[in-house]
Amino acid sequence: MEDVLAVLGQQLQCDRVFLYLRSPDFQVGRVPVCWRKQPSVPIVYDPTWKLEASDLAKADPMFAAALNTQPSIFVEDVETASPEVLNREFERQTFGHRALVHAHLSLEQKLWGILQACVFDTPRTWSQRDRQLIEQAVAWLTPVAMTYVRAHHDRFPTLAAQN
**Which is higher by pLDDT, 25 or 158?**
25
| Residue 39, φ and ψ in degrees, nearest 5 | -60, -20
CA distance 48 to 144: 18
pLDDT at 90: 82
pLDDT tens profile 36-71 = 999 999 999 999 999 999 999 998 999 999 999 999
Q: pLDDT-derived band of residue 163, with 50, 70 and 90 as boundaries?
A: low
pLDDT at 39: 96
pLDDT tens profile 73-98 = 999 999 999 999 998 888 888 788 99
pLDDT tens profile 97-149 = 999 999 999 999 999 999 999 999 999 999 999 999 999 999 999 999 999 99
Closest CA to 33 of 11, 63, 1: 1
pLDDT at 93: 83
Angle 160-162-163 from CA coordinates, rounded to 5°: 75
CB-based contacts of 127, cutoff 8 Å, min separation 6? none
Note the pTM of the prediction, 2 decimals: 0.94
Query: Residue 114's CB: how many other CB atoms inside 10 A?
Result: 25
| Positive or negative: CA dihedral 76, 82, 86, 87 | positive
pLDDT at 161: 67
